[in-house]
Amino acid sequence: MPVQRPIPLWLGGRVEAVVERVGRLADGWFPQFAPDDEGRATLERMYGYARAAGRNPADIGIEGRVSLQGTTPDMRLKEAEAWRDLGASHLSVNTMRAGLRTPVEHISAIETFKETVASVVA
């Protein structure tokens, strides 16, 4: 299997140095924040850094993350919708600390999550 060239550079984090670096250099971002007003403001700053570097912000992937811990299916759907509304290009699910004990439980939870958010990410 050939290696993709160039290898995409995705960065994670939300401190300002990372926000600037994503805008200037990265192909994608794991932002590590909630899809709320503060998250939107951070995303807008990153877009500003991208424009200042002569880049199109739409070319930078954003991966939102929804956690299963302490949430209901309705809460997860709303969070997936919020990520979509912020322009996320990718969505992941965090099954850690959700009381799941076996790989089969994690896989089942991921499948259920997919079914829950399918209408949002389609």
The pTM score is 0.87
Mean pLDDT of 70-87: 93
Own/partner long-range contacts of 115-121 (Cβ < 8 Å, ≥24 apart) = 116/73, 116/76, 116/77, 116/80, 117/66, 117/76, 117/77, 117/80, 117/91, 120/77, 120/80, 120/81, 120/84, 121/80, 121/84, 121/91
Among 120, 79, 89, residue whose Cα is nearest residue 10: 89
Cα separation of the two ends of the chain = 28
Amino acid, res. 12: G
Structure confidence at residue 2 (pLDDT): 81
Over its C-alpha atoms, the chain yields an Rg (Å, rounded) of 16
Instruction: Report DSSP state, residue 96.
Output: T
- Dump pLDDT digits (tens) for 59-70: 999 999 999 999
Strands (E) across the chain are located at 10-12, 28-30, 61-67, 90-94
Mean pLDDT of 6-33: 95
pLDDT above 80 (res 57): yes
Domains of the chain listed by start with CATH number? 10-121 (3.20.20.70)
Instruction: Report DSSP state, residue 5.
Output: S
- Dump pLDDT digits (tens) for 108-121: 999 999 998 888 77
Determine what percent of the chain is predicted with pLDDT higher than 70. 99
pLDDT above 90 (res 37): yes
Find where tokens 């794991």 sit. Answer: 30
